[in-house]
Amino acid sequence: MTKDNIFSIPQKKVEDFSFDKKVVAVFPDMIKRSVPGYENVIIMSGLFAERFARPDSNVYDLGCSLGATTLAMRSRISAPGVKIIAVDNSPDMIESCREILASDNGMAPVELLLDDIRNIDFQNNSLTALNFTLQFLPPGDREPLLKRIYDSMPPGAALILSEKITFSEKRNSELFMDIYHSWKAHNGYSEMEIRQKRTALENVLIPDTIPQHTARLEKIGFKRCELWFQCFNFMSMAAFK
Ligand code: GEK
């Protein structure tokens, strides 16, 4: 695994974060050291897929990056006729993801799309995973996307929504952010790396609170929304139609 040291050199002006070749080259190390619980969320996405992927339906992995969620789901799906549709709008991610998928011998076919998740015509959708992706959409685009996902689902279908979050109580936001940064330092990131990455993400990743997520999902029509994972300012929810 190539070590992430992208932000280890002082930068005069920290540019907005983008999922380019440099990030792709270190992505597995970056996400493992930057998202608490990431590996669990991925494994559990496979367990959701085992239960919710219905015969002859589509399963979506939106913002698939290098295909970690797709591979976890693929390894668990046994229902016949399931296709996984994995989407990312970073050409560098998709190129590397294609190579990774080619060396996997899972059964379910995977359609890999280089596209914006806002452009996808969702069909026959038994399960959608949005693992740490919705947070990168402009806030006003989040509800319309979730509504289109909901509309493409039969009753009983599921959504996995994993996100970085913030808190309505300012002191809690600061506390959890601070503990989160201590965890990053524990994982070997320097104070400068943590600071520069934070600046790079400032305009790019806009977190919501758990009540905002829940209210939006319920407004759209999802019947049961459950928080099934949380660690500091990261969480994963499951919502069912
Ligand atoms: C994993 N789910 O390993 N359309 C398509 N893709 C997008 C868009 C968009 N509008 N915006 C961002 N992305 C993955 C991890 S990473 C999370 C997801 C992170 C893509 C972006 O290119 C990147 O690959 C991914 O969403 C977010 O389980 O790095 O914190």
Can you give the residue ranges of every domain in the chain?
Answer: 1-241
What is the separation of C-alpha 230 from the centre of its chain, rounded to a whole number of angstroms?
14
Residue-wise pLDDT tens digits, 50-81: 999 999 999 999 999 999 999 999 999 999 99
pTM of the model: 0.97
What pLDDT does residue 232 have?
93
Q: Cα torsion at 84, 131, 238, 36 (round to 10°)? A: 140
Q: Torsions phi, psi of 145, nearest 5?
A: -65, -45
What pLDDT does residue 95 have?
97
Residue-wise pLDDT tens digits, 107-146: 999 999 999 999 999 999 999 999 999 999 999 999 999 9
Q: What DSSP string describes 71-112?
A: HHHHTT--STT-EEEEEES-HHHHHHHHHHHHT---SS-EEE
d(CA 47, ligand 1 centre) in Å = 21
* Per-residue pLDDT band at 1 (split at 50, 70, 90): confident
Residue-wise pLDDT tens digits, 46-55: 999 999 999 9
Q: Is 137 in the pocket of ligand 1 (CB under 6 A)?
A: yes
- Give the pairing type, strands 125-131 and 158-164: parallel
What pLDDT does residue 190 have?
84
Decide if domain 1-241 falls under CATH 3.40.50.150.
yes
Q: Is 87 in the pocket of ligand 1 (CB under 6 A)?
A: yes
Give the closest residue to 132 by CA, choosing from 232, 203, 26, 34: 34
Residue-wise pLDDT tens digits, 205-229: 999 999 999 999 999 999 889 999 9
Q: Distance between CA atoms of 99 and 83, rounded to whole angstroms?
A: 18
Q: Whose CA is nearest to atom 24 of ligand 1?
A: 65
H or E segment at 129?
A: strand 125-131
Let me know: does 180 contact 235? Beta carbons within 8 Å. no
Residue 86 makes CB contacts below 8 A (sequence gap 6+) with: 60, 61, 64, 67, 69, 70, 97, 110, 111, 112, 113
Q: Whose CA is nearest to atom 4 of ligand 1?
A: 116
**Which amino acid belongs to residue 168?**
S
Residue-wise pLDDT tens digits, 139-175: 999 999 999 999 999 999 999 999 999 999 999 999 9
